[in-house]
């Protein structure tokens, strides 16, 4: 059955703040949350990152969790985002509904495991943290804290992880496997994270410059984003007002390279084309592309070429918000889906900060003016992961 998938709640946590209101304020006022490392215990304190501006102890206090409890940071970031989404969707009582929880993550509990490993080798006092290294442990911690879920599952496809949870959630509702799905993802920074990307030599020492000719790499970030998905029938029966809908989506894998995009942008092109077609729209219906736009030479060039291949000479307004938050990796797809919903609700275009010079091969420049030339109704949000696991989602106004 081809059910319409409504979004009735959304929640976010990032370097811009702990909720949608703080996120919207930063985007509208073009204020970046990327700053030198403060909370992560690493020698690379000179690197700019999008850190959430609270320590683990502060997050535990906010959530009523004893600071002595074994919690990983990704869980502490995910819980407030899930709570905000459920609150907006008026889902305090979930006892009569089949509510699934799908969460994307890749680094898992590495932030604690890497600190406790040496101690773990010599005694058993830190075993709980080592056991939390598994990616599914984060999903379990969030679900246990929130309660009331009929099933949980974890998706790990690197930077497209949380976008893929939204697709899976929509499929579950359409097929009748769930009444409501809370879908999204969370990711915290870790030394493993920073050292890995530093080894790839794709970290920018300044705030990143997506789609700029002189772009030099990414800034890492952390955060969480979750959406409450349900059919239009379920939303109407519950009397809850939708904030948007998942109109179309597509996931493809070009398997070109473990970390790089295919030079012709084949994967991104197929993902964008498939999502727009799945939504029953034409290319000219898309009002804005929320680009993956990492700031690396490879990604930005190929994503732009893919957009040109699909949209031709009329590429819609396109921008990346990575200069605001850093690249939140597994959380990027769902976090940026929430940003897309904010853009639709408030009729503005998040601008591409730090752009100066056009990429020679592109026939467009990214968005520099937040004022749209027409009402924002359909946004194409891109999330591309390592291994060529590329996803695109069309988010639309009801």
Active site residue 135: no
Other beta carbons less than 10 A from residue 45's beta carbon: 11
C-alpha 18/C-alpha 16 separation (Å) is: 7
β-sheet bridge partners, residue 17 = 14
For the chain, the residue count is 398
Tokens of 398: 């009801």
Asked whether the beta carbons of 295 and 343 are under 8 A apart, the reply is no
Respond yes or no: is residue 257 known to be catalytic.
Answer: no
Please state at what angle helix 56-63 crosses helix 73-88, rounded to 10 degrees.
Answer: 40
188 included as an active-site residue: no
Task: Classify 329 as helix, strand or coil.
Answer: helix
Residue whose structure tokens are 């949000």: 381
Torsion of CA 85, 86, 89, 91, to 10 degrees: 170
Helix axes 73-88, 135-146, angle to 10 degrees: 40
Q: Which of 54, 193, 327, 362 is catalytic?
A: 327
204 class by beta-carbon count within 10 Å (0-12 exposed, 13-18 middle, 19+ buried)? buried
Integer CA distances (angstroms), 7 to 136, 142, 240, 292, in order: 25, 20, 10, 22
Q: Which two tokens stand for residue 172?
A: 């579950």
Q: How far apart are CA 38 and CA 17, in angstroms?
A: 16
Tokens representing 311 are: 């949209």
d(CA 391, CA 389): 7
Q: Residue 58: what are its φ and ψ, rounded to 5°?
A: -65, -40
Q: Tell me which of 54, 135, 188, 292 is the catalytic residue.
A: 292
C-alpha–C-alpha distance, residues 203 and 48, integer Å: 9
C-alpha radius of gyration, the chain, whole number: 20
Dist CA 253 CA 390 (whole Å): 6
Catalytic residue among 135, 138, 159, 208: 159
Pairing state between β 389-396 and 35-36: unpaired
Question: What positions carry a catalytic annotation?
Answer: 159, 292, 327
């Amino acid at each position: 059955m081809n059910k319409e998938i409504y979004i009735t709640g959304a929640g976010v946590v990032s370097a811009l703040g702990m909720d949608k209101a703080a996120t919207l304020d930063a985007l509208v006022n073009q204020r970046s949350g990327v700053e030198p490392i403060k909370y992560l215990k690493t020698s690379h304190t000179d690197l700019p990152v999008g850190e959430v501006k609270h320590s683990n102890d502060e997050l535990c206090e906010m959530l009523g969790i004893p600071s002595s409890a074994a919690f990983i940071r990704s869980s502490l970031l995910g819980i407030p985002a899930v709570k905000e989404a459920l609150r907006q969707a008026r889902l305090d009582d979930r006892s009569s509904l089949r509510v699934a929880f799908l969460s994307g993550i890749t680094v898992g509990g590495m932030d604690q495991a890497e600190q406790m490993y040496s101690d773990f080798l010599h005694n058993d006092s830190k075993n709980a943290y080592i056991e939390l290294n598994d990616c599914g442990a984060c999903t379990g911690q969030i679900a246990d804290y929130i309660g009331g879920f009929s099933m949980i599952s974890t998706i790990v496809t690197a930077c497209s992880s949380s976008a893929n949870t939204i697709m899976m959630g929509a499929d579950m509702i359409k097929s009748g496997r769930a009444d409501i799905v809370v879908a999204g993802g969370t990711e915290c920074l870790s030394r493993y994270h920073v050292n890995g990307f530093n080894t790839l030599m794709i970290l920018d020492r300044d705030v990143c410059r997506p789609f700029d000719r002189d772009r030099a790499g990414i800034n890492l970030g952390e955060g969480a984003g979750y959406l409450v998905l349900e059919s239009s029938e379920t939303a109407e029966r519950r009397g809850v007002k939708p904030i948007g809908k998942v109109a179309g989506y597509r996931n493809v894998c070009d398997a070109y390279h473990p970390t790089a995009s295919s030079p012709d942008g084949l994967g991104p092109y197929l993902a964008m084309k498939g999502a727009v077609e799945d939504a029953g729209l034409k290319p000219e219906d898309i009002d804005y592309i929320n680009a993956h736009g990492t700031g690396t030479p490879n990604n930005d060039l190929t994503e732009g070429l893919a957009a040109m291949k699909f949209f031709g000479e009329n590429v819609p307004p396109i921008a990346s918000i990575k200069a605001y938050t850093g690249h939140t990796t597994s959380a990027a797809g769902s976090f940026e889906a929430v940003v897309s919903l904010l853009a639709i609700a408030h009729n503005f275009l998040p601008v591409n900060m730090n752009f100066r010079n056009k990429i020679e091969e592109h026939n467009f420049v990214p968005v520099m003016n937040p004022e749209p030339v027409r009402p924002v109704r359909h946004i194409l949000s891109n999330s591309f992961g390592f291994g060529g696991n590329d996803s695109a989602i069309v988010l639309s106004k009801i």
